[in-house]
Structure 1
């Protein structure tokens, strides 16, 4: 029964609703024939729900509406799932899923949304409009819209639709995200064992990779480079063991950045006497993997097993083979690797954004005479960013920092 439910969920997430409805009708007929009338009624309701969703999607596929992407989000105790519906020429052409583990302890919904938007468009061009279910923090909104507009060479807006079909599509994406969350996080523990056993076989490990550590590098618009490391034990993320790194040396070289962070991490593990991972995952391909092994060999840890996971193709790279490993898209092992990789990416992006915001706030406001830490915080709360402070009128500034402070700010930016 669990396998059948998982298969049905997979069909729904892949958008194969006609196939799913046909399967449910067959199951409904079998249940009725066996006089399991309550089960048949549940299956009948499920078919009606799918038909309603299909009708709603067709209604939303209205030619002439602007190209846009709609982000649905489900946040829970175990993490978060984002579902992105891509609309082109008035039709939903693709549904894409992002998974984040262990986010609820200290991450708010706008923060997770901002991380999802940044991750999603790192390798995609944004449409003119991006729809999100609630407003982003002002600093994140300004930074993301500027970055996306620069990459597209045309303005990109991040907006919150309040009504109509655009809001309806957001709500549909949110329902999809909720279903995906259930499928990802509410599975029996046997799923984790199966995934770990597959990884053991794929990488030729002597035992299950019960402890997996994963590294990701994050750089945005040529600014400082940061890295993250996340830990997964027995198929579950261990947030208390996550680590953040600022790259000190080759900040604009992904390979050397990966080498640096792996070296720093395992030099410290050596000094502490462990624990060592059963498997190291590297976000990247052969180049990043080789850089990681360079660091491990220098530390005398070349016997540790590492693998790279490349974006887009979702292929696994190992040291002793030029050919990557392709696991089935529905393989529990690949899904586990993707979840760990995506969590490392989310953690790196969140750290990078926080570092960038702090740098932006201190790089200019710190230099204004008479504006101390308390006043800087008040300015940020009121105007959202340094750009907001720069654009503020004397009257608005006076309300926050007084007339003398307002004059100091206006004079500073006038001479900048």
Structure 2
């Protein structure tokens, strides 16, 4: 490339580099322990690079770098440049929805408690985030009984001061009414600080203090005051009950989990303070470049904590994979918190169990994100048109069929066929195949495509040319069952899981049957390349393409369906193989035994008399079965 630095001009020191396009705009920022090794990797072998990295390099027109002293400085500079230049090829995390926070505006003369969303403001303490705003309001309503901090807007506060009369909350003792001078600014700030301490996890001292005051009031026979203090204690306890206890008291940790596919990733964080879950939050990210889980974690930690206040940071960060430069990341977070921060992967116990819970939430978040994205009609239409443009089709492929092969070392070979119509899964038309050939995936694809479209031709010839659906036997409706024929509808596009050889095998099967109106492509899993039959080079669809996203969803669904069928066949084979060693027991009797008992384990526990209840099994063979299975190790 014309902008490749001269040999020997790149230093071996740690630093941060920037790729720029022809207009001088920064398109990618990265860091490295050795700038020379890292930058040389971009220019060593272009064909070996990830397609997204290739796209970045072909877009770039120049590269520059800055040398720093340590890896921590490299992390700090990388983050500041990413924030400043917003490069298009860097990973950017975005909220998967708008999360509400409980905020206390400590920067104001009279701090206010409120629900806030969006960017954080200086001088404001934040708690959460919460899943729903109503959950915050319920908690605040309970706590205002004990900490009557103002919740009104600036306009209401000013108006109450002008007329000398507080709002309703002031009359029902859920506000200390600083607007009319019932408390001094210092007293009101002290209430706000106590409110923040309680929300921050320092809860026991408030409950103990109220219990002491309640006992003193009861001893002095001030029963009304004692009853009010009792109700205050119950209000605090109810507020605490809304936050589940998951770890030991005093544990402050952020628990982070990932769920990813080749194109996107979802991140979920549970905020644990004082052993209780104080809030949760989720992000999704488009994977603009090929990244490992550890690299995703590192980039996430930088973006999440780089500007966090010291009091908002935990003592411990639990992650699914350690960042590649974990020591540097830990040092950076420790500087940010001004106290020790530990980044580690939980191995056992309650923290490991909580990590698994957070991971399930991350998987659900990614699934919901995909559903929202797929359910948008405009997005689906755009995806289908992008596929048509990329594959040079005459029209958008409204019906897509995808095929995948699954086996274990050539045994129990199966294949799946999944159907997407108008960008949505049509599960009633999914089909599965037990593959007969043992000559590899390419031959398996050829066999399955041949069988599927031969059935299509047979059904079409049996009813004549396909006409609109009716019940006279002239369309794809079977007149005997009243249901659509299994292979009556041809697709506009056939997608196979694989690269050029698999796509060529599918095309060869269609050519042998004389079908020329069905397009074929292959989707290679490793690099998400689209291969057309007979082409030496793949079609590289843009990373942001909705069409690529749809093809990936179709391919992943075919893979899931094939794996499910393969596992069921393998399980059945294993069950039957356990009875192979029983003399005189043929396939029919083996199946009858498995149908009757459900599993080999239950059969092994049965007596000879119980086995004789199976049709076709006599006393002598039952004794043989018992003696043979009892002799095996369970």
- TM (norm. structure 2) is 0.39
Q: Tell which deviates more after alignment, 319-328 or 363-372.
A: 363-372
Q: What do residues 215-274 of structure 1 show as CA deviations (whole Å, max 9, x unaligned)?
A: 1111113312111111110011111111111112x3242111111111111111122235
Tell me by how many angstroms 1:351 deviates.
Answer: 1.2
2:254 match: 56
1:348 match: 562
Distance 2:547 2:253 in 1: 35
Name the larger-Rg structure. Answer: 2
8 Å CA contact retained: 2:380, 2:422 = yes
8 Å CA contact retained: 1:24, 1:43 = no
In structure 2, relative to structure 1, the CA distance for the partners of 1:372 and 1:275 (3 Å cut) is: closer
Which runs of no fewer than 5 residues in structure 2 stay unpaired?
A: 1-89, 104-112, 121-125, 132-251, 258-266, 268-283, 285-291, 298-346, 461-487, 613-618
Tell me by how many angstroms 1:24 deviates.
Answer: 9.0
In structure 2, relative to structure 1, the CA distance for the partners of 1:379 and 1:259 (3 Å cut) is: same
8 Å CA contact retained: 2:520, 2:533 = yes
Alignment match of 1:292 (pick from 506, 525, 535): 506
Alignment match of 1:200 (pick from 388, 402, 418): 388
Distance 2:609 2:364 in 1: 42
8 Å CA contact retained: 2:499, 2:531 = yes
Distance 1:412 1:224 in 2: 25
Distance 1:308 1:400 in 2: 56
2:31 match: none
Tell me by how many angstroms 1:382 deviates.
Answer: 7.0
Question: Secondary structure of the residue that 2:418 maps to in structure 1?
Answer: strand
8 Å CA contact retained: 1:214, 1:283 = yes
Alignment match of 2:532 (pick from 300, 303, 318): 318
Tell me by how many angstroms 1:316 deviates.
Answer: 0.4
Distance 2:116 2:498 in 1: 47
1:260 match: 447
1:224 match: 412
Distance 1:241 1:285 in 2: 25
Alignment match of 1:210 (pick from 398, 401, 417): 398
Question: Secondary structure of the residue that 1:342 maps to in structure 2?
Answer: helix
In structure 2, relative to structure 1, the CA distance for the partners of 1:175 and 1:94 (3 Å cut) is: farther
8 Å CA contact retained: 1:318, 1:324 = yes
Pair 1:179 & 2:365 matched: yes
Distance 1:300 1:38 in 2: 70
Distance 1:226 1:255 in 2: 13
Q: Which has the higher helix share?
A: 1
Tell me by how many angstroms 1:180 deviates.
Answer: 1.2
8 Å CA contact retained: 2:521, 2:533 = yes
Give the aligned CA root-mean-square deviation in angstroms.
4.3
Tell me by how many angstroms 1:317 deviates.
Answer: 0.4
Q: How does 1:94-109 map to 2 (within 5 A)?
A: none
Q: What do residues 374-413 of structure 1 show as CA deviations (whole Å, max 9, x unaligned)?
A: 54245444728xxxx7xx6xxx443994696465233368
Q: How does 1:145-160 map to 2 (within 5 A)?
A: none
Distance 1:15 1:46 in 2: 27
In structure 2, relative to structure 1, the CA distance for the partners of 1:363 and 1:202 (3 Å cut) is: same
Distance 1:349 1:257 in 2: 15
2:550 match: 336
1:272 match: 459
- TM (norm. structure 1) is 0.58
Distance 2:406 2:416 in 1: 8
* Count of matched residue pairs: 287
Question: Secondary structure of the residue that 1:216 maps to in structure 2?
Answer: strand
Question: Secondary structure of the residue that 1:219 maps to in structure 2?
Answer: strand
1:41 match: 117
2:46 match: none
Q: How does 1:1-150 map to 2 (within 5 A)?
A: 16-17=92-93, 40-41=116-117, 48=129, 55-57=253-255, 93=294
Pair 1:408 & 2:625 matched: yes
Which runs of no fewer than 5 residues in structure 1 stay unpaired?
A: 1-13, 29-36, 61-71, 73-82, 84-90, 97-160
